[in-house]
Chains A and B, each alone.
Chain A
Amino acid sequence: MGGRARIANLVPWICVAVALWLVIVPVGALLYAAFTTDAVLGDSTPTLDNFADAYAGWHILRLLGNSLVYAVGTAAVTLVMGGVVAWVVERTDAPGGALFHVLALMSFAIPGLLMAMAWIFVFSPNIGWGNAVLKSTFGLANAPLNIYSMGGMIWALSSHYFPLVYLALGPALRALDTRMEEAGQVSGGSAWQILARITFPLLRPALWSTVLLVFVMGISSYEVPRLIGRPARIDVFTTKIQEATQGGAPEFGVASALALALLAICLVAVYIYRSGVQNAESYATVTGKGYVPNVLALGRWRWPVALAVGLMFAVALGLPLATLLWQSCFANLAPPLFSSTSGATLANYEYILTYPIFLGAVRTSVLLAAMAATAIVGLTLVMAWIAQRSQTSLAWLIDALAFVPIAIPGVIVGASILLTYLVLPVGIYNTIWILLVAYVTLYLPYGMRFASSGLTQIHRELEEAGAVAGARLAQIFRRILLPLLAPVLLSAWIYVFVLSVRELGASVFLVGPGTHVLGTISLTMWEEGGSYGAVSALGILQIVPLLCIVAALRWLETRVHRRIAPPRAADIVQAAPPASARAQAA
């Protein structure tokens, strides 16, 4: 074996080492900072003061209460909304299923910050045009709805996340074999008994895991608490952690102590969630192949039901987007339906498109997202390959490494990476590389989902045939695996690219004077009093390209003939880890 071959054999282990570093180091940094006096300034005296500062007093109970109410509330609202959509699309003959599916996928493209912003334009007590409509319609003196409330926060996040619940629940509802319900009927069960004893127990794992997933996403979310919760003085963990690291005297120890509590909550929820997913998979295998799902015939209610679901999408996603679009065409506050179109102008776009900071942020965001997507696709391909193909007993560790970040909120990734590279003498602090590290860590689970789902579809013997024919590992990757996986890897690349452009929670910690990204400049412009029109134009200029990219991805996945199917939307949403099926030789 030559030197090159030996290096090729090392590549897999280098990838595992990188993943280990990405996941272990931030958590280690948090623990270290939480238990020392001032890790950043080098005072590493062990102490419990940080925990005393963070947890002593009533405010911690309020913080915990707010976070839990917000996350549980979001999970409940999205479950109802997404559950209704899933049921209508999968179990009834109402038209529009394909459209709703595409709309749900499109929701991936919208940055959370802009959703929060748009809802403020609609339901702010002062400037919200929705409130204005209600006031004039019902002759009210005060604004009836206030976005700056717990209910407003839950609604703002739910309107963005309910499509994910639909995408996650859809396959479970589709896979629910009606013959199981029919077997119950034939056995003499009443409709109620069948629902309670067959249908619901069969769906329970899927429902449970979806609820936990949205709970984790809710408690980790940063955009809505920052834009809506903060002015309303409703603190949650994510905003509190971020605040503690800001200001003249950043309290990294306190931030770390709080982050550990949030991390613990997320880890527990994800642990329960993961066992739930495994249950759901074992239930799914019980159902037979090749059955035709028996859908409920709605009769003359077909169209009304479809319209009701369409209205839900229109209100939850269409309304905020239309508001942003409308506002972006006016210099001053311009409620749709109320202001005339006479003052419409493209001046806001002109302003943004010639604004140097915007152009710099676009360059940085696109460059970063492309690098993150490339790094993740390469890293997860190798990791998935090791986990599935090599006979290593460490496969579980690789799976775990690539999955754990799903439980680490972006805010924690941002805070811990900031801490790590403030202390470590690696000169990436205040450069775009520190953001790259954060994005790669955050989206590792999604990349892994694509890579392993693609690899499981490639028969191991295709690679072995290459080895027997005389090909080295590098040749097998280049000539066999890469051409076969190319479409799936491209999907993964685009998906991670979109997520990275959207990212805010980690970015707020890591941007420096020369490294603005789109998320952070939008936030700055909003909070530092940019004009409503300019901020909206900035939003639209982000949403439209992202929507086009997601639409292109969807087109690619449905139109291009593929030998290897991309993972289902439900699996991507959940970044569900596949059971590493390492086929044993007979």
Chain B
Amino acid sequence: MEDSRREFLKKAGVGSLIGLGVVSAVNVVTEKKGEASSRSSNKSGTRWGMVIDMSKCPADCKICSEKCHSVHNVPEFRKPDGSADLKNEVKWLWKDNYNNVFPSKSGQFLSNNLKQKEFLVLCNHCENPPCVRVCPTQATFSRPDGIVLMDFHRCIGCRFCMAACPYGSRSFNWFDPRTEDEKHLVGGKNIDPNFPTRERGVVEKCNFCAERLAKNQIPACVEACTFGALTFGNLNDPDSEIRAVLAANNTIQRKPELGTGPSVFYIV
């Protein structure tokens, strides 16, 4: 059963490419010859990516992350006094300061704009994901379309992937995310039946809305953003909207020096 479920997830990924009609042309010509590149694994197929335009992202807006956490049944653990329980926190999409999101970038004399902004943080769906490399059971794996997924039914909860992820994108279910009690509350959320809840003891993270892509829908956060700050698309398709955005703007990735090849780009 488990294998067939994995196969389904993988095929759903391939199927979604065709469904969206974004079968990209084989594109080797545009790559400059002799360019030193360690990340050139999947030029011909699809590689999903995202551009976050921080000039369009308002400072205290949380629409996208709230939408994400609600459609994916991300639990909210609270302390007895009702405040957020940061120790047992689970999060897929959230905001943090420029200096924290880009610690290896210059932090001196930041513009007022950058000081005020909070940057969106999510799984980078790396081309060379360290989390996949270290997982001892292949519970976390890369799909052919570049999405890094979790098999919640195979994960043994060793948390090696959390130690390996250089972006802090992974969360662990320290307590049962399904039960509600006074101490650690899920937050009285309405469970969305379109996405499975998790069990205690497994790791989870942003899945680039693989379940929505399979239904020809764009990710929930992109759909929810009313400011047009998020662009999602096929990085390998030179005619895609996301490539046009990347060609027209200066963008940066998080910690590119680690060779992970993040698929999330930022317009600062």
Is the pairing of A and B real? no
Binding site for A on B (CB under 8 A): none
Binding site for B on A (CB under 8 A): none
